[in-house]
Amino acid sequence: MARVKIFSTASCPFCVKAKQLLTKWNIPYEEAMIDTDPTARREFSTATNGARTVPQIIIDDVCIGGFTELTELHMDDKLDHLFEK
């Protein structure tokens, strides 16, 4: 199965929604809180090529973007394809 990591902050409503959707779709994920963990903040900058917004979702070391891109992948039936192996 693909590895999923979500970079988020405690005060971001879109982060909460993205995590809720991943849970609803039974997609396990690792969370990195960039507002409280300096190591996660450095990793966030590198993994997302300098993104400035959260959430940022990484699937198999590829940044797919945030909440909007996650839902678009799901609506376009492209999310399941990422997890087929």
Domain boundaries, the chain: 4-83
Q: Which two tokens stand for residue 83?
A: 């997890």
∠ CA(3), CA(79), CA(81), 5° rounding? 85
Report how far residue 63's alpha carbon sits from residue 85's, in angstroms, rounded to the nearest whole number: 19
Query: Average of pLDDT values for 57-65?
Result: 94
- Confidence grade of residue 14 (pLDDT, cut at 50, 70, 90): very high
Query: Average of pLDDT values for 14-28?
Result: 95
Cβ-count burial 28-51 (b if 16+ within 10 Å, e if not):
ebeebbbeeeeebeebbeebbeee
CATH architecture of structural domain 4-83? 3-Layer(aba) Sandwich (3.40)
- Looking at the DSSP bridge assignments, the partners of residue 65 are 57
